[in-house]
Amino acid sequence: MTVEFSPQAKREFKKTLARYPHKEAALLPVLHLAQREFGVLSDEVLEQVAELMDLPFSRVKGVVSFYTLYNTREVGRHVIRICHTLSCALNGGEEVIEHIKKRLHIEVGETTPDKKFTLLECECLGSCNTAPVMQISDRYYENLTLQQVDQILDSLE
C-alpha cells in the first residue's frame, strides 16, 4: 500500500515550508501533519515524508525516535497520556493510573482490543497546579478524581 497526502495536507505542507529559510527545519511540523493525516508514522509514511523533505529515510526515522509525541505503533482512537511526574504523583497520579489500568484491562503502553483507548504515562504536562492531570488527544483533563475519570472515559465515543 502506498500512502499519499491529501490535497489539503499538501497545501498545508507548502505553507509550513514557507515559514523557514531551510526546508529541513520544517521536519517536526511536517511529521505532526503526517501523523494527523495517517494516524501512525509507519515506515511507509516516513518514506513519503523523507521524499517530500529531500532527506534520507534514516534521518527522518532518527528524529521520530527521539520525541515522545510521534506514534510509531498503532494507537487507539483516544490516546490517554497521564502525567506521572512529581507534583501529580504527590496528588494521587499513581492512583489514577492504577484505576484506568483496571478499568480498561490494559497495562501502560497497551491499546484496548476494540482500539478505542491507548494508555500512556507521560512526563510533566506543565499543569502541576491542577494535579493530577491527563491529556487525551489534544485536551487536558485536570484536578482529576476517580469518579471524573470514569465520566470522562464514558463520554468518549
Partner 1 sequence: MEDKILLKYIDVPDIQKIKVYQKHDGYQGLAKALKKHKPDEIIELVKASGLRGRGGAGFPAGLKWSFVPKDSGKDVYLCCNADEGEPGTFKDRLLMEKNPHQLIEGIAITAYAVNCHQAYIYIRGEFSQAMKVLEQAIAEAYEHNYLGKNILKQGFHLELSLHPGAGSYIAGEETGLLESLEGKRAEPRLKPPFPASVGLFKGPTVINNVETLSNVPHIIMRGPEWFKGFGTEKSTGTKLFCLSGHINKPGVYELPMGIPLKELIFNYGGGIIGGRKLKAVIPGGSSTPVLTADQVDVAMDFESIQAAGSMLGSAGVIVMDETTCMVDALANLTRFYSHESCGQCTPCREGVSWMAKIVRRIEDGKGLEGDLELLLDICDNISFKTLCPMGDAAIGPVVSFITKFRSEFEDHIRQGRCPIEKDKSIKVRG
* Residue 125 lies near partner 1 (rule: CB under 8 A): yes
Report whether 149 contacts 95 (CB < 8 A).
Answer: no
Cell numbers linked to 135: 491529556
Structure letter (DSSP) for residue 12: H
Segment contacting partner 1 by CB under 8 A, of 5-13, 44-52, 61-69, 104-112: 61-69
Distance CA 131, CA 93 (A): 7
- Looking at residues 88 to 117 of the shown chain, list those that interact with partner 1 (rule: CB under 8 A): 89-92, 95-96
Q: Name which of 74 and 123 has its Cβ closer to partner 1.
A: 123
Q: Which residues does 121 contact at the CB level (< 8 Å), separation at least 6?
A: 81, 82, 83, 84, 97, 108
Q: Residues in the site for partner 1, rule: CB under 8 A?
A: 19-22, 24-29, 31-32, 53, 62-63, 66-70, 81, 84-87, 89-92, 95-96, 122-132, 135, 138-140, 143-146
